[in-house]
Chain A
């Protein structure tokens, strides 16, 4: 995954609360291979029959402002794939589903928490604005203002470096083995009993 620290793009508002991951990608598309591109599935049912849907009016948008509790619900990482494959680099909201936010960071998508989101969405209604995101300072400049967004420092570092957890963790393999062996020795009950009624 490529890291990034600055993004200049176009911001658009989707002023709805509780946009859950079932809406971000309906379940029926989830057997598709990632190679097919998941962007085509993004918010499919919500967009259908709505010619004014913000992402259809402004397909160049790469920054999405949305209502509270964005990405709640199912842990499906496919919801993030759909956003990323549709060219979205950052979602701004007052809050995110915990699992969604972790999935986003694991795919280079910034989940930026910003208390001012509702006011910004009101100001943006029906139009776009250019916006700049600086990960180093956790700031977003849009609509003539520069605002500080919330992002856990560990996630900021990860996004900037494009780090992959498996690579990082493999540096701790000895610690993990030691932990495992101790757990197996001292808490033997925590392993599944060996007998298996099917054997």
Chain B
């Protein structure tokens, strides 16, 4: 029988299946963060220990200060960080805390530390856990009750999602990134376009992506409603993993490679849904509204709600109003107040390099923050001199965390302010109450910094890649 990658990963983790169709799945890696406090509370209420502290890893990221870490003035933030520390110590969980040189965003440091591997099941109380699927892992976000369940049993109950394949054929222009692919398909299919499905990304353009690009693509699966996203592992995957601190070595590495080679959909495998996209059709894409499906090429003009189907007209009208934009307006040239380069979506070394390529020798016309995905990426960027490029341009080079993507640490966009952002959600108030977020690639964020407007990054990238 021909199997999909999803079938293979699911079968490998199924402890049992009930008659009602629910599977009890084994969790190879459980990642927790400050927001997991509700789950630890549930565990404490039952007096239960963490079942597998050896497979559980903690990270301080959602509330991590990006400025001065020695003196946290907000008591609510200090409390969140302390609680994580206490729970990790109490249960013997390895913690990448604020003072750890490996600290960073959970979906960046999992792969960076070699904790994320092909063939694993990875869960975390965060919807962007789909990021880890880039390695051919079964990785999905869960809620607090499920986090407590994983802590207590190292398993999770799930109904198997339907299998969907998005194939990106052809070659991607070097100035187009994984972020553009993701925003393109989400605009095409909608924020619930992949609901109830596990997406496997395939095709020549996906194969040609670096691991960083693959992580960006899988990360955004949830914004199209998918339960998870994944890409079959290949030589690019193995080269990324080899030698990382928690990755297998020696005989264990050889055994892993044998198994990983089988982690792909069989040629005759049937998917519940197939979508094909021509890479040549994908332009630099950004969001203009308050949901990721409200996205357009930078060369586009804003829709007139009157021309839209009834179901979308009101949402578009409200979004234009909230965003301070009007129908028929060209996106290119809209002034921005600030930029943000960071988040689990786009703050890896490759993202910083491409943004720096656009910014080198140029000055930012608007203020902005650059928050690397991890402190190790930050150190690497400094070795490469990228920090100087950002600082010389006038941007703030800060520490690592979720930062302005979600604003929990106090890095907020002011009401009515427009932010060009490399993040994942343009929801109302996501970056701060009343904040206006435009999601885009790191290159377009850098171009927005240089011009002070939403703009096509391609002219500014010429001769610099």
Which B residues are in CB contact (< 8 Å) with A26?
429, 433
For B427, give its contact among A22, A103, A166, A175 (CB under 8 Å). A22
Which B residues are in CB contact (< 8 Å) with A30?
35, 408
For A69, give its contact among B77, B153, B192, B428 (CB under 8 Å). B192
Cross-chain contact A107 with B55 (CB below 8 angstroms): no
Alpha-carbon separation in the docked complex, A188 to B255 (Å): 9
Cross-chain contact A192 with B246 (CB below 8 angstroms): yes
**The stretch of A2-10, A12-20, A56-64 that contacts the partner chain:** A12-20
The residue on A at minimum CB distance from B155 is A176
Cross-chain contact A192 with B54 (CB below 8 angstroms): yes
Alpha-carbon separation in the docked complex, A172 to B17 (Å): 11
Alpha-carbon separation in the docked complex, A118 to B22 (Å): 31
The residue on A at minimum CB distance from B246 is A192
Which A residues are in CB contact (< 8 Å) with B125?
75
Given A30-B408, A173-B153, A20 and B146 contact (CB-CB distance below 8 Å) = no
Q: Which range holds the interface residue count of chain A? A: 35 or more
Q: Check A154 for interface membership: any CB of B closer than 8 A.
A: yes
Which B residues are in CB contact (< 8 Å) with A188?
248, 252, 255
Alpha-carbon separation in the docked complex, A20 to B428 (Å): 9
Cross-chain contact A22 with B141 (CB below 8 angstroms): no
Q: Check A144 for interface membership: any CB of B closer than 8 A.
A: no
**The stretch of B115-123, B341-349, B391-399 that contacts the partner chain:** B115-123
Cross-chain contact A157 with B20 (CB below 8 angstroms): yes
Indicate with 1 or 0, residue by residue over B7-28, a CB within 8 angstroms of chain A CB atoms: 0000000011010111010101
Which A residues are in CB contact (< 8 Å) with B102?
198
Alpha-carbon separation in the docked complex, A95 to B115 (Å): 34
For B117, give its contact among A76, A106, A189 (CB under 8 Å). A189
Cross-chain contact A103 with B143 (CB below 8 angstroms): yes
B423 to chain A, nearest CB (A): 12
B343 to chain A, nearest CB (A): 13
Which A residues are in CB contact (< 8 Å) with B290?
18
Cross-chain contact A31 with B425 (CB below 8 angstroms): no
Indicate with 1 or 0, residue by residue over A151-185, a CB within 8 angstroms of chain B CB atoms: 01110010000000110011011011001100100
Q: Check B38 for interface membership: any CB of A closer than 8 A.
A: yes
Q: Check B430 for interface membership: any CB of A closer than 8 A.
A: yes
Alpha-carbon separation in the docked complex, A103 to B327 (Å): 38
Alpha-carbon separation in the docked complex, A170 to B223 (Å): 34
Give A73-90 interface residues, CB cut-off 8 Å to B. 73-78, 80
Give B125-181 interface residues, CB cut-off 8 Å to A. 125-127, 141-146, 148-149, 152-155, 157, 159, 161
The residue on B at minimum CB distance from A18 is B291
The residue on A at minimum CB distance from B424 is A73
For A98, give its contact among B26, B154, B196, B291 (CB under 8 Å). B196
Interface centre among B28, B141, B142, B427 (most CB of A within 10 A): B427
For B141, give its contact among A68, A99, A193 (CB under 8 Å). A99
The residue on B at minimum CB distance from A26 is B429
For A107, give its contact among B22, B29, B145, B259 (CB under 8 Å). B145
Alpha-carbon separation in the docked complex, A73 to B26 (Å): 25
Which B residues are in CB contact (< 8 Å) with A22?
425, 427-430
Cross-chain contact B245 with A154 (CB below 8 angstroms): no
Cross-chain contact A75 with B141 (CB below 8 angstroms): yes
Cross-chain contact B157 with A180 (CB below 8 angstroms): no
Q: Check A72 for interface membership: any CB of B closer than 8 A.
A: yes
The residue on A at minimum CB distance from B406 is A27
Cross-chain contact B429 with A23 (CB below 8 angstroms): yes
Cross-chain contact B315 with A18 (CB below 8 angstroms): yes
Indicate with 1 or 0, residue by residue over B195-223, a CB within 8 angstroms of chain A CB atoms: 11000000000000000000000000011
Cross-chain contact B192 with A72 (CB below 8 angstroms): yes
Cross-chain contact B16 with A27 (CB below 8 angstroms): no
Which A residues are in CB contact (< 8 Å) with B149?
165-166, 169
For B249, give its contact among A118, A157, A193, A196 (CB under 8 Å). A193
The residue on B at minimum CB distance from A195 is B245
Which A residues are in CB contact (< 8 Å) with B48?
166
Cross-chain contact A23 with B54 (CB below 8 angstroms): no
Which A residues are in CB contact (< 8 Å) with B29?
192
Given A172-B16, A180-B154, A190-B120, A69 and B21 contact (CB-CB distance below 8 Å) = no
Alpha-carbon separation in the docked complex, A27 to B428 (Å): 11
Q: Check B247 for interface membership: any CB of A closer than 8 A.
A: yes
Residues of A within 8 A of B (CB): 16-18, 20, 22-23, 26-28, 30-31, 34, 45-46, 68-69, 72-78, 80, 95, 97-99, 102-103, 106-107, 118, 152-154, 157, 165-166, 169-170, 172-173, 175-176, 179-180, 183, 187-193, 195-198
21 A-B pairs within 8 Å (CB atoms) are namely A16-B318, A18-B291, A18-B293, A22-B429, A27-B406, A31-B79, A45-B428, A69-B192, A75-B127, A98-B161, A99-B127, A99-B143, A103-B144, A118-B311, A166-B149, A169-B149, A172-B16, A176-B153, A190-B117, A191-B54, A192-B54
Which 6 pairs between the two chains have the least Cβ-Cβ distance?
A103-B143, A189-B256, A106-B145, A77-B144, A189-B248, A77-B143
13 A-B pairs besides A20-B427, A166-B152 with CB distance below 8 A are A46-B428, A74-B127, A77-B145, A98-B225, A99-B127, A102-B143, A102-B146, A103-B143, A107-B145, A154-B21, A165-B149, A187-B119, A196-B94
